[in-house]
Amino acid sequence: MALRSILSKNTIARSVGLGLRLGHVRGLKTLSLPDLPYGYGALEPVISEEIMHLHHLKHHLTYVTNYNKALELLDVAMGKGDAQTVVKLQSLIKFNGGGHINHSIFWNNLAPTGEGGGEPPEGPLAGAIDKQFISLGKLIDKINAEGAALQGSGWVWLAFDKELGRLAVETTLNQDPLVTKKATLVPLLGVDVWEHAYYLQYKNVKQEYLSSIWKVMNWKYAGEVYDKSRS
């Protein structure tokens, strides 16, 4: 069944690009909230401790909880042969599962200053950026422009397109994971432009948030994913 393939561990793990702790709901894979790779206040002053607490322990945890609840309901509906409920639940699974996938990537895209945060990319990724975008600064300008122009909630991504063998800047709406836009896109880094990611600190000045986040961007992680995706 196609729906079961959507829920497979391989699909989720490929989208996230990292190992997830998975439980089971009658054979269906469930999710758990990953730990942050740094303290809640470690990204200050760029991202406040208050925002990180709310973002991780409220918003991300809610996606995980609602995803798992949707799987339980799906299991019951499939057992009853209730096609209408199965179809209805797919949007909940996509939204909350996507929220988990996106945030799991996002936490690893960030690092405290002094621990790699804000240090420019090196190696093959740096070369690819210069080749396609002329410079890192021009790439950042493009990502910031895409983020500022995105209406409503969503994400801006730097991705590697395995089919074309090149980098790409993409946007996704709401919590759609990048893999739903094109299966061959591997997310290297994503910038969360939902208001809950910045509003308590930056208010309605989204551009200031977009400009500041690069001070804690973990390019080393992006480079590692890039190298792996090309192998």
Residues making up the binding site for Mn(2+): 55, 103, 192, 196
Helix locations, the chain, DSSP H: 2-6, 9-16, 49-53, 61-80, 83-109, 123-133, 136-149, 199-202, 206-212, 219-230
Q: How far apart are CA 52 and CA 50, in angstroms?
A: 5
> DSSP assignment of 165-201, as one string?
TEEEEEEEETT--GGGT-TTEEEEEEEE-SGGGTHHH
DSSP-derived 3-state class of residue 113: coil
Q: Which two tokens stand for residue 227?
A: 């190298």
Q: How far apart are CA 143 and CA 39, in angstroms?
A: 27
Which residue ranges are tagged as binding site?
55, 103, 192, 196
